Amino acid sequence: MRILQITDPHLYGQAGGTLRGVETDSSLRAVVDDALSRFPGFAALLATGDLVHEDPKGYGRFRRIFETLDRPVLCIPGNHDDRDAMQRELSAPPFEIGGAHRFGDWTVIMLDSLDQGKVGGRLSSAELKRLETELARSRDHHVMVCMHHHPVPMGSDWLDGIGLANANEFWRLVDDFPQVRAVVWGHVHQRLDGRRGDVRLFATPSTGAQFLPASDTYAIDTRPPAYRSFRLHPDGRIDSHTHWVDVQPERLTASG
């Protein structure tokens, strides 16, 4: 089974809106075109936050890009999102916000880590309880958990100050459920393929501009837009790759 992930498109209500030197609408469309041509048979698309950049009109643009898909588009908010506007604009299929979703031998749990008014994230007590409930229901499935904020250090002082504030609570819970195979996030605008014990860790670059890895201060990378593919096997194995997408160079001149 194949699942795709996009993250941090940072759309505006107008098509020409730019962020960090990248025109976010055309960049996202280039990523989507590449993903659909390369993986036409995928089962679901994960959209892991910062769908818009503090412009609720961007949700209409996001909806128009994906509304003709005949596969689920599973969404969660990031720190630049408006939770209420997202609910209003992405309330009909193929869009689903949050929740837990079964695909064969796998369950994908989408968590809301938005801490309103803050750049960093936090899982509320209600969201942690929901996670515990869903994990208890899914003991016979392999589980992938998705959120926006990173629950492990990325090796950048500035980024690690705006990660998941209650990551210890999250991991204490996850450690009680050995069927969790992977934790997936966005927010960091860079790639990570790692491991914490038996749990695979995946950070995915943005469909727009990227942050420079291992930088202690805010810095923009020159790498292009990207998305991630997952191949989930019945025995719990995961094959995953980051796909970098060539976009017109003038739209990738990061200005900081």
3-state secondary structure labels for all residues of the chain: CEEEEECCCCECCCCCCEECCEEHHHHHHHHHHHHHHHCCCCCEEEEECCCECCCCCHHHHHHHHHCCCCCCEEEECCCCCCHHHHHHHCCCCCEEECCEEEECCEEEEECCCECCCCCCECCCHHHHHHHHHHHHHCCCCEEEEECCCCCCCCCCHHHHCCCECCHHHHHHHHCCCCCEEEEEECCCCCCEEEEECCEEEEECCCCCCEECCCCCCCCEECCCCEEEEEEECCCCCEEEEEEECCCCHHHCCCCC
- Which whole-number Å values give the CA distances from 247 to 164, 213, 224, in the listed order? 31, 21, 7
Return the pLDDT at 83: 97
Place 38 in a pLDDT band, splitting at 50, 70 and 90.
Answer: very high
Residue with tokens 């003038």: 250
- Which whole-number Å values give the CA distances from 48 to 2, 144, 172, 254, in the listed order? 17, 13, 22, 22
The domain that contains 221 carries what CATH number?
Answer: 3.60.21.10
Residue 184 β-bridge partners: 146, 202
Pick the closest to residue 122 from 86, 155, 154, 162 (CA basis).
Answer: 162
Place 205 in a pLDDT band, splitting at 50, 70 and 90.
Answer: very high
Cα Dmax for the chain: 49
Return the pLDDT at 247: 81
Whether 172 has a pLDDT exceeding 50, the answer reads yes
Percentage of residues in the chain with pLDDT exceeding 70?
A: 96
Q: What is the C-alpha separation between 129 and 123, in angstroms, rounded?
A: 10
Return the pLDDT at 92: 96
Dump pLDDT digits (tens) for 103-152: 999 999 999 999 999 999 999 999 999 999 999 999 999 999 999 999 99
Q: What is the C-alpha separation between 170 and 188, in angstroms, rounded?
A: 18
Q: Does the residue 255 lie in any domain?
A: no
Q: Does the residue 37 lie in any domain?
A: yes
State how many domains the chain has: 1
Q: Does the residue 164 lie in any domain?
A: yes
Return the pLDDT at 178: 97
Q: Does the residue 256 lie in any domain?
A: no
Mean pLDDT of 194-217: 98
Mean pLDDT of 217-234: 97
Place 248 in a pLDDT band, splitting at 50, 70 and 90.
Answer: low
Mean pLDDT for the chain overall:
95
Single-letter amino acid, residue 223: R
User: Domain limits at 212?
Assistant: 2-250
